[in-house]
Structure 1
Amino acid sequence: MGSKELGFDVVVRGDTRDYIKPGSYVFFQREKEHGGGFWLGQAYDDWFGFVIEEPVSLRQGIEYLMSIQRIEPQLGGFHDDPDDFFLRSP
């Protein structure tokens, strides 16, 4: 279960994955005894980084990923050429 457009996967309680594509977002479902919800993070070969530092609902997490996708084109990347330096207002 997941979305290829937003690049995320959902791992529900009791389920496992043999492979997670590096850089993809993953929701891990929490036990109901511990409050339920999902941990949202980004998985790489050797670590998992939390994107949101508290458990969220699946809806909250997907809305967050959609907002990231909307602003990515505005970020413009990193340019270290001093002749091409500019400041952009938000």
Structure 2
Amino acid sequence: MAKSPEKFQIIYRGEALAYYKPGEWVFFQRPKGYGGGYWLGKTYDFVFMLEIPYPISLRQGMEFMDEAEGFGAHKPAFVDDFKLE
């Protein structure tokens, strides 16, 4: 579940997104008065797309990113001597 800081940004309450890379993940922290947590989405030119339609924790977001990028997917073992008959 380790993500490199180049793959996502965390924007805390009261801050603004100063820069972005198209396709980069961004967490926006919600005000505590509204329940806290984070909105998670991806930045693209001219648009920010929410990936999850409800607030989440950082841990949930990192797990979601891992699954979305295929890090948590199970890959079947290959059989070297497989033959079709």
- Give TM-score scaled by structure 1 length: 0.69
In the TM superposition, what are the counterparts of 1:3-14 in structure 2 within 5 Å?
A: 3-4=5-6, 7-14=7-14
**Which structure has the higher relative contact order (CA within 8 Å, separation 6+)?**
2
Partner of 1:84: none
Distance in 2, Cα, partners of 1:18 & 1:26: 12
1:18-57, aligned counterparts within 5 Å? 18-57=18-57
Answering whether residue 57 of structure 2 is matched by residue 61 of structure 1, we say no
Structure 2, unmatched stretches of 5+, are 76-85
The alignment yields a C-alpha RMSD, in angstroms, of 1.9
Structure 1 residue runs of 4 or more that deviate by more than 2 Å after TM superposition: none
Structure 1 runs not aligned, ≥5 long: 75-90
The percentage of counterpart residues that share the same residue type is 43
User: How far, CA to CA, are the matches of 2:23 and 2:65 in structure 1?
Assistant: 13
